[in-house]
Structure 1
Amino acid sequence: MSSASFSPHPLLVFNGENYHIWVVKMKTYLQAFDLWEIVNADIEPPPLRANPTIAQIRQHSDNRAKKYNIMSCLQSGVSDVKLTRIMTYETLKETWDKLKDEFQCLEKTRQQQLINLRRDLENLKIREVETVKHFTNRSMAMVNSIRLLED
């Protein structure tokens, strides 16, 4: 039996627009490499104890490398202008939180967007010149926008 190899798509570069979409893609990207949990945990691997085995040294090195792999993903996943805003942060959590604080809608704005989207969805009607497929795409886009804002 052959095993399929996974080759991730290049990262979507965040340029300041559609933050909620970028977050979903970045989380999924990091989850594909089993790295997402490390972002929120924000803990350093414990130091090696005296006389470690080669396996312990490798494990420690792998654990330390994960932090830098994630930071590399975050830095590669933002435009150069956005990178200048996060490059001084040392920890993953600080970096992730800075992006979230700066680009996620304020709660009040978010709630208003939700209200507007729900109202638009309730009043959504198919246009005479519109195909069913186009109408379905419009309605699903609204539903997905609501889901993103509810997170």
Structure 2
Amino acid sequence: MSFTPPPPPVFTGEHYHIWVVKMKTYFQMHDLWNVIENDTEPPPLRANPTIAQMRQHSEECSKKHKAMACFRNGVLDVIFPRIMACDSPKQAWEKLNEEFMGSDKTRQQQMINLRRDFENLMMKESETIKQYSDRIIATVNSIRLLGVDFSESRVVEKVITTLLEKFKSKISSLEESRDLSAISLFELINFLYAPEQMRANRQEEHPVGAFQAKANEGSGSN
């Protein structure tokens, strides 16, 4: 089957960290990332080159122009003036990084704040597993978007050690059958979320019974 590559992702001026990840993948897909990283000219042709060598050299020389075209099509008109005067795709990439990602000092401070946020995360009494895992994943993704390798095992450990007391028996049960150091975050969340989902489904199917059970609980406590 033929494959028509999609157009480059468009940067609107917001969520630059996400656009950078998408754009890097786009350049890699088109074999253009090397001209962003290195900004080097291909070596000159040797004497008496073959047609294949000339074609290859021409393709290598055109990569910078292709990358610049991707940049110009990958930003809105309000962003384009920032890179309009850039002579190379590497220069355009660095120009956007400098303006929208901030200096090394700024990124370092962002990293410190996000790590602190991650360490301080605790499950709230009012939260479901899904709500808590969404909070953790959002923080972890923000850290990863800054280019930091954040292991999944560390995230799994964070979830396990900060759950409410009512989940401890579930974790103990899971520990008997699985190696918790090797379990994925997806598996852990699904294991913990399944009982919550079943209870929610039962309440939707039998709302009167659920209401009556709550009423009985309330009268029994008086």
Category of TM-score, reference length = shorter chain: 0.7 to 0.9
Unaligned runs of 5+ in 1: none
Distance in 2 of aligned mates of 1:6 and 1:124 = 44
TM norm structure 2 = 0.59
Pairing 1:2-151 to 2, within 5 Å after superposition = 6-151=3-148
Unaligned runs of 5+ in 2: 149-222
RMSD, matched Cα = 2.2
Q: Describe the superposition over 1:130-149 as per-residue Cα deviations: whole angstroms up to 9, x where unpaired.
A: 33122212201101211222
Percent sequence identity is: 58
Task: Supply the AA of the counterpart residue of 2:65.
Answer: Y
Task: Supply the AA of the counterpart residue of 2:94.
Answer: D
TM norm structure 1 = 0.82
Is the 1:8–1:29 Cα contact (8 Å) retained in structure 2?
A: no
Which consecutive segments of 4 or more residues in structure 1 shift more than 6 A?
Answer: none
Larger radius of gyration: 2
Distance in 2 of aligned mates of 1:132 and 1:8 = 38
Which structure has more relative contact order (CA 8 Å, sep 6+)? It is 1
Distance in 2 of aligned mates of 1:146 and 1:63 = 35
